[in-house]
């Protein structure tokens, strides 16, 4: 038995951070940690905090950008917590806290009006923009935080305009309701991206724990700030602008750190244009770095995906034109300067990516000065169909190698974040 002493019977590990060996010793079995027992106290403390605030299986169970995103998200949450304290103090002062002439009824009515308008704003925003929050999560995440800072700034200024106080706080309430919808929905979309082991709930729960800890730290700092800023509007505004700058900077860095491997319209456009330019496929990291994260006005022809048939063609002749040289389960057309795509019910994810690529090429082509301002309406429509026919040829020549290249580069083409509407059309014209 002495000859077998120290023989490794088995090994085990917990994630990638800790591993153990089972050794033969004195006729029995001993469990020993790799690397010895030195520093076990420090490791146990670190392990405790990891288990409390990080998802199980970290870092393998989350995306590579998780830690960087959470760092900047923590910084923005802390600065937002401090700004929120200043805004809350101003709101309470505005409704009459500390003022002997103020009535409870007047303060209650103001609060109820603010909450009521906020509820309406939440419903309207979710109705109008709910479908955009998945496909453009980064943009709306940053937009929500900018709007939150605007709302808090309005609350700080409101007490200085007593005649318009109710209007200002109600407007700020609407803004904050939009922030609640956009911020919560986009956070869920980012959690889907970060979850690599179907562990969305665990990541979301640990994110809540991190945010609670940050808010607790913000609360302690706020207790020290309140005596300093009371009845001192200059200091209040100065600190608010300082926290706001930090908040916006941290938010920008947070959304910039996210590297999503699924295509939305912006990322697909960036990768496709680079491929058509020099046949080079951008990696997810390269494309995400180029992706715009600020809401901006379109410079190219807008694209509408999954529209009704009448948005693509207005006659049987145009339907024949749209299906000419097109054996795919989608139709493309140009209506009022917009590239419209009509989708068949049998279309696959690959078909959706191809249709969007073709729409992006059409949009770029229509945005060129040479494709604008034809001499008359009939010639204009004829010119549009000529460009559509050309787009079919471009995709036939380029799409297969493009799709193969993006898969090899690490893009997920089994699902997308493309903003398709729900219209599906079966057309009767024979497709060759």
Please check whether residue 351 is in contact with residue 316, taking contact to mean a CB–CB distance below 8 angstroms.
no
CATH of the domain at 228: 1.20.1250
In a shared domain, residues 302 and 172:
no
Q: Which residues have a Cβ under 8 Å from the Cβ of 335 and sit 6 or more positions away? A: 311, 312
* Residue 219 reports pLDDT greater than 50: yes
Q: Is 432 part of a structural domain of the chain?
A: no
* Residue 371 reports pLDDT greater than 60: no
Q: The tokens 């908040």 sit on which residue?
A: 247
pLDDT for 355 equals 96
Burial of 252 (0-12, 13-18, 19+ CB in 10 A): middle
In a shared domain, residues 89 and 214:
yes
* Residue 171 reports pLDDT greater than 90: yes
pLDDT for 379 equals 44
In a shared domain, residues 234 and 270:
no
Q: Is 429 part of a structural domain of the chain?
A: no
pLDDT cut 70: percent of the chain above it: 87
pLDDT bin (cut points 50, 70, 90) of residue 344 is very high
**Buried/exposed 117-146: b ≥16 CB within 10 Å, e otherwise:** bbeebbeebbeebeeebbbbbbbbbbbbbb
* Residue 210 reports pLDDT greater than 90: yes
Domain count, the chain: 3
In a shared domain, residues 87 and 156:
yes
Nearest to 359, CA basis, from 322, 331, 318, 397: 331
Its domain, for residue 84, covers 66-257
pLDDT bin (cut points 50, 70, 90) of residue 253 is very high
Q: Is 178 part of a structural domain of the chain?
A: yes
In a shared domain, residues 72 and 41:
no
* Residue 296 reports pLDDT greater than 70: yes
* Residue 331 reports pLDDT greater than 70: yes
Q: pLDDT, tens digit, for every residue of 75-90?
A: 999 999 999 888 888 7
Q: CA geometry: angle at 387 spanning 430 and 306, to 5°?
A: 60
Q: Which residues have a Cβ under 8 Å from the Cβ of 110 and sit 6 or more positions away? A: 95, 165, 166, 169
In a shared domain, residues 293 and 198:
no
In a shared domain, residues 172 and 223:
yes
In a shared domain, residues 286 and 231:
no
Last-in-domain residue among 53, 75, 94: 53
Q: pLDDT, tens digit, for every residue of 403-421?
A: 999 999 999 999 999 999 9
Q: Is 128 part of a structural domain of the chain?
A: yes
Q: Is the dihedral of CA 243, 249, 253, 254 positive or negative?
A: positive
pLDDT for 178 equals 93
Segment 389-393 shows an average pLDDT of: 92
Could you give the CA distance from residue 105 to residue 112 in angstroms, rounded to a whole number? 10
pLDDT for 53 equals 92
Please check whether residue 46 is in contact with residue 111, taking contact to mean a CB–CB distance below 8 angstroms.
no
In a shared domain, residues 170 and 207:
yes
Segment 43-56 shows an average pLDDT of: 84
In a shared domain, residues 277 and 370:
yes
pLDDT for 376 equals 43
Q: pLDDT, tens digit, for every residue of 121-155?
A: 999 999 988 888 889 999 999 999 999 999 999 98
């Amino acid at each position: 038995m002495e000859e077998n002493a120290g023989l490794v019977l088995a090994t085990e590990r917990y994630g990638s951070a800790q591993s153990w060996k089972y050794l033969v010793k004195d006729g029995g079995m001993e469990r020993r940690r790799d690397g010895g027992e030195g520093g076990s106290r420090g490791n146990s403390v670190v392990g405790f905090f990891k288990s409390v605030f990080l998802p199980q299986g970290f870092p393998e169970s989350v995306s590579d950008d998780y830690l960087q995103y959470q760092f900047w998200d923590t910084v923005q949450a802390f600065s937002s917590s401090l700004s929120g304290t200043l805004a809350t103090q101003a709101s309470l002062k505005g409704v009459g806290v500390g003022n002997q002439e103020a009535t409870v009824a007047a303060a209650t009515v103001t609060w109820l009006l603010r909450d009521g308008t906020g509820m309406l704003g939440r419903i309207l925003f979710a109705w109008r923009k709910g479908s955009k929050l998945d496909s453009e999560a980064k943009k709306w995440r940053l937009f929500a935080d900018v709007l939150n800072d605007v709302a808090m700034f309005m609350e700080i200024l409101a007490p200085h305009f007593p005649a318009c106080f109710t209007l200002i706080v109600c407007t700020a309430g609407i803004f904050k309701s939009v922030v609640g919808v956009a911020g919560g929905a986009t956070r869920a979309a980012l959690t889907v991206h970060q979850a690599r082991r179907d562990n969305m709930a665990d990541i979301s729960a640990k994110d809540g724990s991190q945010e609670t800890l940050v808010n607790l730290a913000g609360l302690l700092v706020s207790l020290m700030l309140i005596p300093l800023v009371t009845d001192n509007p200059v200091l209040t505004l100065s600190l608010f602008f300082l926290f706001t700058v930090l908040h916006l900077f941290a938010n920008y860095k947070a959304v910039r750190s996210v590297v999503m491997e699924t295509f939305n319209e912006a990322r697909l456009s960036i990768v496709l244009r680079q491929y058509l330019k020099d046949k080079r496929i951008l990696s997810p990291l390269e494309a995400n770095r180029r992706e715009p994260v600020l809401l901006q006005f379109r410079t190219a022809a807008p694209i509408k995906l999954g529209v009704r048939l009448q948005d693509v063609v207005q006659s049987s002749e145009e339907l024949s034109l749209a299906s000419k040289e097109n054996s795919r389960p989608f139709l493309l057309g140009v209506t009022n300067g917009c590239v419209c795509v009509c989708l068949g019910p049998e279309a696959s994810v690959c078909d959706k990516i191809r249709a969007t690529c073709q729409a992006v090429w059409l949009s770029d082509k229509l945005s060129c000065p040479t494709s604008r301002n034809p001499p008359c309406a009939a010639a204009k429509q004829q010119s549009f169909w000529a460009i559509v026919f050309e787009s079919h040829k471009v995709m036939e020549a380029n799409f297969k190698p493009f799709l193969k290249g993006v898969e090899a580069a690490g893009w997920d083409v089994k699902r997308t974040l493309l903003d398709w509407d729900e219209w599906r059309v079966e057309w009767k014209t024979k497709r060759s």
